[in-house]
Structures are given as C-alpha cells and as structure tokens.
Amino acid sequence: MYPGGPNPTQIQFIPPNRAIANPRPPPLVLLHDGGGTTFSYFLLGSLGRDVWAVHNSRYFTGDAWEGGMEQMVLVYLDGLMREGIRGDIMLGGWSLGGFLSLAMAHRIGKDPDRYPFSVAGLLLIDSPYHIARSKISQPHSKAPLGNVPDLVRTAFEHCDAMLQQWDLPRWSGTEGAQETDLEVSGGQRFKLQRSEVLYKPATGGAKTWSTIRTGTSTSTEASTTEAPTTNLEISNAASTPEDLVIPGSPPPAVLIRCTQFAKRNSEIPSNYPCLVDLNRSEKMLGWEGRYPEFIKAVIDVDADHYQLFDRTHMERMEDVTARLSWGMDILDALWSTNKAKKGAKTD
C-alpha cells in the first residue's frame, strides 16, 4: 500500500496443492477498516487461497467520500473488475470492512449482470450490528486512538462522519434451506437447523465446536421495527424504502467475535463501553433478531476489537490466522454444497 500503488493488492497466492483442487477455493477480498489501511491483513499467515486487500483509495489525499459508502462500493467493485477478478469470490474485512463487504454484496445482488463475479460468502471480522450512529441513544465512551498517523486519524474522522447516517443494506429475508449439513475442523459434523449457528469458543482444541440457537427474524420489517433492543436503544427507526430492498438473503457469513471489551479513553472518564462494544456480550454481536439470518458460524478470539491485529503479539496472530482459516473452511463447505445443488438443478 503506497501512493499510486495497486488497489486491490494481491497479498497472498493460492498454494500449489490447492491451486489444482477441484473445485478451486474462491479468492478472498478483504476490505479496509475505518483507518483506511490494510496493513493488518499483511500480518496474517496463509489462508490457503488468493487473497486481495482493498485500501481506502482516498487515504493518501485525506479526502472524504462525498458520495458516502455507496460511492466507495462502486469504486471498489470497479477496481476488482479492472484487476480481472471473475467468478465466485468471498468478501470480508475487519470492522468497517465487514460493512463494506455487505454493501458490496448488496450492490452486486441488485445489478448482477454488471459484474463478472458473485459473492459466495462473507467473513465479518468483529463487525458488530450497525445502525446509523445518529439513531443510537445508548450512552457510550470513546476508544483511545493512541499514537496513530495523521492520515489514519483523518480516515477515522471521515468514517465516523459517514456512519452517522448510513444504515445497513437490506434484503427481503427469503427463507433458505431449513437444514445445513456441515463438517468442521476436527472432523465434527453438524446438521444445522435454520435457527442454529455453529459456535467455537476462544479456548479449547479442534473439537470444541457446538451449536447455539438464534432468533428467527427474516423480514426487513422485523429487523428494523420489531428487533429486540436489550443492549442497543434505537430511536426513530424507519423501514427501508422498498426500492432499496433486494430479494433473498445476504450471502452466508462467518462472524469472528472478539471476547474482550476495549479499553476506554482515559482522557474522557466514562463507565460506559465503547461504541464497538455495545453488543459485546451477545455471541452474535447484535445481529441476532435484527437482520435476516445469514450468519452461519461464530468463532471467538481472545482479544479486544482494537488489539485483534497486534504485530508485536505473534502468538495471537497465529491464533487469529487459524480462526480465520476455520471460518473460510466453513464458507468453502457452504459454497461447495450450494454449487453442487445448482449443478444438480441444471442436469
């Protein structure tokens, strides 16, 4: 990542033994966080596939996006097309990167003929449920930014301003398969019902997978006006205009969830959690019951949101890489199953 450099940038290449696999695993495109950079993704070990990173293309100029998230999405999708990316892809990212992934998947779903790729799955890296920040009435504290470069600080400021009014894109929430058969790392097999997701705690070995039951909100109306607000008070919630809602559900997702609460800014005394931690105690970080079901697995990691990618903590980075790899294995399995079903329908 440097001024005038490529965007997206390929940061990992598929290992030879997986390159000849049939089917070949889809590439993963990781979107930047609120700071605009992709340096964190360079700390990861191999994820067993081609991996691309997209940084904020206005990072080096310090300019805001006058068209907001929608403009970012269009620019980034055009960048993927220019790079020649085709076929099924996975999208993901840390924090804001998860929201960008959803927004890009929604744009592709709204105009699929425009793009030479489709989204097979989403990897949300500690991206909690989001509503426009102007609608949040629950008190919260600020996280300390610490000693960060001025350009990163500027990107965060632009991000905060942009998210004041931006809401998540909406799908109608059409029901999918009632049961999903999955094999996970460690050889465990699960038959997931529609109201279940896989869950892996932050500690324990390969065979610590289990299932947790969820609510069953599938409609846009339920997810915006009837959603539980135990940990998040929503004021003036409004339904999404029908022309902005697309049929079906979002692509299947795996949620990587930090279990620790972030440190609060000592310069601004407060007993309230940081904004990113308002739903920290919920295993699905607030998504349950507020959004059409699309998260298929939650994988915990022993870290807080801001210390997840710590270049001085190599043991943690190895653990984070392993957990992201487990998440990608699940998305690959879901993709293979869906691909086989589509093939059977065309035969």
In a domain, 19, yes or no: yes
Q: What is the CATH number of the domain that holds 336?
A: 3.40.50.1820
Tell me if 179 sits within 8 A of 311, measured CB to CB: no
| Sign of the four-CA dihedral 249, 218, 74, 329 | negative
pLDDT of residue 301: 97
pLDDT of residue 264: 79
pLDDT of residue 251: 96
Q: How far is CA 51 from CA 15, 27, 85, in A?
A: 11, 6, 11
pLDDT of residue 206: 74
Q: How many domains does the chain have?
A: 1
Element (H, E) at 223: helix 220-225
* Domain range enclosing 80: 9-346
In a domain, 4, yes or no: no
In a domain, 39, yes or no: yes
* SS3 label, residue 117: strand
Angle at 31 between CA 340 and CA 102, to 5 degrees: 55
Instruction: Read off the tokens for 26.
Output: 């889809």
In a domain, 70, yes or no: yes
Tell me if 174 sits within 8 A of 204, measured CB to CB: no
In a domain, 3, yes or no: no
In a domain, 146, yes or no: yes
In a domain, 2, yes or no: no
Please list the pLDDT of the chain residue by residue as tens digits (347 residues). Answer: 899 899 999 999 999 999 998 889 999 999 999 999 999 999 999 999 999 999 999 999 999 999 999 999 999 999 999 999 999 999 999 999 999 999 999 999 999 999 999 999 999 999 999 999 999 988 888 887 778 899 999 999 999 999 999 999 999 886 566 778 888 877 889 988 888 999 999 998 778 999 998 864 433 333 333 334 444 433 333 455 556 899 989 999 999 999 999 987 766 666 789 999 999 999 999 999 888 889 999 999 999 999 999 989 999 999 999 999 999 999 999 999 888 777 665 55
d(C-alpha 126, C-alpha 308), whole Å: 9
In a domain, 1, yes or no: no
d(C-alpha 97, C-alpha 36), whole Å: 9
